[in-house]
Structure 1
């Protein structure tokens, strides 16, 4: 069951702020309101003195310390038509570079090609991932 106890400004000040990966971002120095926007933001000061504003919508939980929600991954389609000519032009260069240091396919013995988009080695001879 969720704790519905309201948090006061005094309770938030000096709370440690931790990102979703468990890294300490700093401590809350102040609470701010943006004119024309709903909600609040927290002014978080890091160890080096840098100040970062964190919107309250980014907060996942707050009690003894503040935990932020995971940052949304930038969703890019795996296939973009605007990049297609560049990818096709770069492919022979990748194959030439990969041929010098690439591992060999276990099936046919030809050099494999590293496909950065999928983070895997590919055999163009067998037309499959190794």
Structure 2
């Protein structure tokens, strides 16, 4: 059964924490968010059908297609990490690994998502 919360947020759900900050991808506004679950969670995604898929799309699609449970998603705004080739994919993996290490969880329990400028590598 669903319950609607008038002033609910992602952290209204038991076991979820979230944070947002400016990491410098944008000049002023918050551009990085982290959502963490205490418990392994089932993840789902809707992904582009475009043949030119951004590195985070490829990485997250693999994890979700394998049916892995996740505990975190790191989301950045300001750089899509798209059309960046193997280097862009390696950047996404590096960010994923760093986040997993800091949270003391398995690397494949972290999803990464990016939106923003296309064609520029993510500053790692």
- Pick the TM interval, shorter chain: under 0.3
Q: TM-score, normalised by structure 2?
A: 0.20
Higher relative contact order (CA 8 A, sep 6+): 2
Q: TM-score, normalised by structure 1?
A: 0.19
